[in-house]
């Protein structure tokens, strides 16, 4: 419970993709784990998403992509973040990501890729593992 307390996370939908069920489920799951979640709504440009990430100074951006255009949109969003001096903000990706594309996304700097086969608890636990530094006991 509350493993993500105080963490601010932006869930964003880049491009023309109108599938928002997964993004909303993830937003609620992260909230229930203690995070403060901002959701952009559908059909946002990479430039807009990067600007919101900067203004809100989030601890992570989660892109939800079910359109098939994930490689292009992830690359553009990373580029926009760099141009705003915010390449240090970690980026997660979720949605319909075929196994053969995972390496390319990881290469581009994405630090976690999540698909519908994964259990929600495991998704949240993995996000927490990356965002919350383990405290020395």
Partner 1 sequence: MAVAAAASKADGQLDRRALGRALSRIANTSVEEALDGMRETAGGASRIGITGPPGAGKSTLIGRLARQRLDSGAAVAVVAIDPTSPHTHGAILGDRIRMDGVADDPRLFIRSLASRGANDGLADNIADVLATLDGYPFDEVILETVGVGQAEYAVRALVDTLVLVLIPESGDQVQAMKAGTLEMADIYVVNKADLPGAERIASEIRAVARLRRRLTSDWEPPVIMTAADRPDDIAALHDAISRHLAFARASRNIDEVRRLRREYHVKSLLMRTVTDILAENPRAVDCSPREAFELVVARLRERRR
User: CB–CB of 65/73 below 8 Å?
Assistant: yes
Q: Which stretch binds ligand B12 (CB under 6 A): 33-41, 45-53, 72-80, 112-120?
A: 112-120
Per CB under 8 A, 63 contacts partner 1? no
Among 20, 25, 54, 115, binds partner 1 (CB under 8 A): 54
By CB under 8 A, how many residues form the interface with partner 1?
31
Q: Minimum distance from CB of 41 to partner 1 (Å)?
A: 5
Q: How far apart are CA 60 and CA 130, in angstroms?
A: 10
Per CB under 8 A, 64 contacts partner 1? no
User: 113 by DSSP, 3-state: which?
Assistant: strand
What DSSP state is assigned to residue 135?
A: P
Among 32, 72, 101, 126, binds partner 1 (CB under 8 A): 32
Measured from the CB atom, the residue of 38 and 108 that comes closer to partner 1 is 38
Of 6, 17, 4, which is closest to residue 73 (Cα–Cα)?
17
**94 contact choice in partner 1, ligand B12, none (CB below 5 to 8 Å, kind-dependent):** ligand B12
* Tokens of residue 60, six digits: 């992570």
């Amino acid at each position: 419970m509350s493993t993500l307390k105080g963490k601010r996370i932006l869930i964003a939908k880049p491009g023309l993709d109108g599938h928002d069920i997964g993004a909303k489920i993830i937003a609620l799951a992260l909230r229930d784990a203690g995070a403060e979640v901002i959701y952009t709504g559908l059909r946002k440009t990479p430039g807009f998403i990067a600007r919101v990430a900067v203004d809100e100074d989030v601890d992570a951006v989660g892109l939800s992509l079910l359109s098939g255009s994930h490689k292009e949109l992830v690359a553009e969003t990373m580029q926009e973040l760099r141009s705003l001096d915010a390449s240090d903000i970690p980026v997660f990706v979720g949605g319909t990501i075929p196994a053969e594309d995972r390496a390319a996304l990881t290469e581009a700097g994405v630090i976690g890729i999540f698909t519908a086969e994964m259990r929600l608890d495991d998704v949240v636990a993995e996000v927490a593992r990356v965002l919350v530094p383990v405290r020395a006991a």
